[in-house]
Amino acid sequence: MTITTGMAENRREQSRLRSIPISSNVETLSCIAGGGALIALGLARRSWIGWVLAATGGGLVLNALINERRPYQGTVRVGVTIRRSPDDIYEFIRDPENQVKFLEGLELRANADQSMTLAFGRPAGFTLQSDAQITDERPGEYIAWSATPESVQEHSLDHRGVIHFRRAPGDRGTEVAVALDLKAPVGPIGRALASFVGWGPEQMVRESLRRLKQLMEAGEIPTTAGQPSGARGLKGSALRVLYRERNFEQPGESRLAGD
């Protein structure tokens, strides 16, 4: 299935997001600091190990100056098939009460002037924010959005995308396809860490679509958060983080009869 988003002609326009200033980027600063420390350490040793350390440090500083200043730019394409009609899914998505239930890691707020504000990362302590507007929309067919120019200047986050609804072959329901173009002030190290905890853009879109499918087909999102378990120990707790199983334990007495 091909998705046309109108993004192709935009690629030729000047990048609206220029390189990231050094001083505001944690990754760049830590690379420079770490690299500098390694250089100093290496030169102080006066042995061949020292040269290796210094070279590594030099590499880190170069990385900071070159790679880390290029913002992340990527395209995300994720599709899912949901056993409901395109109109049903469109209506479900446009309702803010539902958006809260299926959007993974993303907060969405509709503003009075027809724009939306997206916020991401609040639970982790940092927030990436952006204002966007719906640029084109046909109910039951597609919704296209784009970050406002003011928001791009202010928050250094540029994104535009489209979500398509198309009848799936046979009686399989609807093919829901999301295509997203993204520029964010995150360097390679930050991207790797984000992917590791499941916060890469493709992962978030995929999980959001998965939750949407679960809500619309099964009526609930499957979970094991809050189920009983034996002693987890250090290894078990580490694995819970690795397998991205967020843990909430609610205090309360057993509600079982017939004990």
Give Cα separations from 45 to 3, 4, 23, 52, 57 (angstroms): 57, 58, 30, 10, 14
- Site size for other proteins (CB under 8 A): 41
- Integer Cα distance of 177 and 163 in angstroms: 6
Judged by CB, which is closer to other proteins: 84, or 155? 84
- Helices in the chain by DSSP H: which ranges? 8-11, 26-45, 48-66, 86-94, 96-102, 149-155, 188-197, 201-218, 233-242
Per CB under 8 A, does 251 bind other proteins?
no
CB 130 within 8 A of CB 155: yes
Of 2-21, binders to other proteins (CB under 8 A) are: none
Per CB under 8 A, does 255 bind other proteins?
yes
Judged by CB, which is closer to other proteins: 135, or 223? 223
Contacting other proteins (CB under 8 A), which of 99, 151, 203, 208? 203
Per CB under 8 A, does 218 bind other proteins?
yes
Which of these segments, 28-36, 54-62, 185-193, 208-216, binds other proteins (CB under 8 A)?
208-216
| Binding track over 160-189 against other proteins, x by CB under 8 A | ------------xx----------------
Judged by CB, which is closer to other proteins: 113, or 220? 220
Integer-rounded Cα Rg, in Å, for the chain is 23
Q: In the bound complex, what is the minimum distance in angstroms from residue 233's beta carbon to other proteins?
A: 5
User: Tokens 């002030």, residue?
Assistant: 185
Contacting other proteins (CB under 8 A), which of 11, 12, 46, 235? 235
Residue 205 tokens, joined: 């879109």
Judged by CB, which is closer to other proteins: 13, or 259? 259
Amino acid (1-letter code) at residue 96: P
What angle in degrees, to the nearest 10, is found between the helix axes of 26-45 and 48-66?
160
Contacting other proteins (CB under 8 A), which of 95, 167, 245, 247? 245
Which of these segments, 31-39, 142-150, 177-185, 223-231, binds other proteins (CB under 8 A)?
223-231
- Integer Cα distance of 252 and 143 in angstroms: 44
Q: Write the secondary structure of 53-73 as one string of H (helix), E (strand) and C (coil).
A: HHHHHHHHHHHHHHHHHCCEE
Per CB under 8 A, does 206 bind other proteins?
yes
- Residues found near other proteins in the complex (CB under 8 A): 81, 83, 172-173, 198, 203, 206-207, 210, 213-214, 217-233, 235-236, 239-240, 243-245, 252, 254-258
